[in-house]
Amino acid sequence: MSPRGWFITLEGIEGAGKTTAAACVVDWLTARGKTVVQTREPGGTPVAESIRQLVLTAGDEPIAPEAELLLMFAARAQHMHYRILPALARDEAVVCDRFTDSSRAYQGAGRGLDAGLIETLAQTVEQGRSPDMTLLLDLPVATGMVRAAARRGAAQQDRFEQERAAFFERVRAGFLAIAERHPRVAVIDAAAPLPTVRAAIEQALAARFGQGG
């Protein structure tokens, strides 16, 4: 079985506007008659959502970087197996908020884990089906942090939100390095006003899939 649908991922540091951008991508695809599965990582299936809860919640026991990486890939394996690949096989479009590039950027560039190990895990878990297109929402770390704090309000920070700016600078640089290596990645200036971001996303989608979809 060779999955045929379109696999689109959204990436970026926190507060980049991935959630907002996902809605724009879904609108664009739906207008072209595509059936869309909108999902996120870590998460997307009941088991993967349980892992999300575990890995994002700040508790008394720290989570070792290697455990964090393996938990991200454990969630991804469930997601790939039971949600993403079946949808692609039905010729549907999958719009996923974060995917393996987040592991490369956060656990690789951010935590300093071995890039070779991450690629080995990716090869096994992705089963030969990497994204057709990735929208990288890029913006300065300080802007992302301000946006994320404003959206969070009085709610508690999760484990990642507790990291300092230097960590997110490494993550941002990691994402930009991925974009340089992979033509599937379109870099969107996410610091721009929303209508400008929306127009840039639509332009990138049209360039990849054609105007008619």
Binding site for ligand Z5A (CB under 6 A): 12, 14-20, 41-42, 56, 72, 97-98, 102-103, 106-107, 147-148, 151, 160, 190, 193-194, 197
93/135 with CB nearer ligand Z5A: 135
Q: Distance (Å, rounded) from C-alpha 135 to C-alpha 25?
A: 10
At closest approach, how far in Å is the CB of 212 from ligand Z5A?
27
At closest approach, how far in Å is the CB of 81 from ligand Z5A?
16
67/194 with CB nearer ligand Z5A: 194
For residue 142, give both structure tokens: 């300080």
30/157 with CB nearer ligand Z5A: 157
At closest approach, how far in Å is the CB of 193 from ligand Z5A?
6
35/53 with CB nearer ligand Z5A: 53
Burial of 156 (0-12, 13-18, 19+ CB in 10 A): exposed
Q: Distance (Å, rounded) from C-alpha 133 to C-alpha 82?
A: 21
Q: Buried (b) or exposed (e) across 53-70, using 16+ Cβ within 10 A? A: ebbeeeeeeebeeeebbb
Contact 194, 125 (CB under 8 A): no
19/35 with CB nearer ligand Z5A: 19
List, in sequence order, every residue forming a beta bridge with 134; answer none if it has no partner: 9, 185
Q: For 154, how many CA atoms within 13 A lie in the half-sphere containing its CB?
A: 0
Provide the phi-psi class of 210: left if phi over 0, else alpha when psi is between -120 and 50, else beta: left
At closest approach, how far in Å is the CB of 12 from ligand Z5A?
6
At closest approach, how far in Å is the CB of 91 from ligand Z5A?
25
At closest approach, how far in Å is the CB of 108 from ligand Z5A?
9
107/134 with CB nearer ligand Z5A: 107
